[in-house]
Amino acid sequence: MTETASHASRADMVDICRRMNSSGINQGTAGNLSLRTGDTFLITPSSLAYDKMEPEDIVEMDFDGTYEGRRRPSSEWRFHRDILAARKDINVVLHCHSIYATTLAVHHKTIPSFHYMTGVAGGTTIRCAKYATFGTQALSDYALEALEGRLACLLGQHGQISLGADLEKALWLGIEVETISRLYVQALTLGEPPILSDEEMARVLKQMDQMSYGQAPDLEGVNDTARPRQAADA
């Protein structure tokens, strides 16, 4: 990575961090963010408020746990490193203590497919990882387990993790997980909600996959009347 590209990536990370706060999914010095940069990764520093963070404060780490920079890396660097090492399909790890996701996490509740948007995390559920002390290898191991085949998980009595191919996608997913969590908490006040079947969620996931490639969903006639005007007039 060139020095210019490195500075741009660091500046983009600071921007995303500040948007984490402005969106309401993060507060104070809680939460952290990492970005793959080839053979290394960038990660936010420990105990520094986002509104005071500058690009130069972002820490560069090797996958052996060594780092370079004027600040110490986040205390959660282990799960950032391990997730990036294990998941070649993603480049960003976003962690925050968003209120409703954390509300569910303190009860170790997995989010079921009570709403089809649960599928944005890549499966029929958003799992909750077992509890372990923050910053430990045990927490990293539990997070990896909960993220198997998923793009997001809750961390028992802790918060949430959302993954992305880039910074924007990770932030979008973090906000979506918080929204889904809020809906679930509110739905639970009326009792356990009905759950969509695995068969229906398979259809949902297929349509979401199509949309991620820029195609409108077309299962079972959903898209029969939504055609480009030129094709419709032909």
Return the sign of the alpha-carbon dihedral for residues 100, 154, 106, 32: negative
Edge-to-edge order in the sheet of strand 159-164:
67-68, 59-62, 40-43, 32-37, 92-96, 159-164, 152-155, 128-129
Q: Determine which one of 60, 76, 176, 178 is catalytic.
A: 76
| Cα-based distances in Å from 230 to 214, 215, 216, 234 | 18, 17, 16, 6
- Closest C-alpha among 185, 191, 205, 193 to residue 98: 185
76 is catalytic: yes
C-alpha torsion angle, residues 37, 169, 210, 147 (rounded to 10): 80
Q: Which residues have a catalytic role annotated?
A: 76
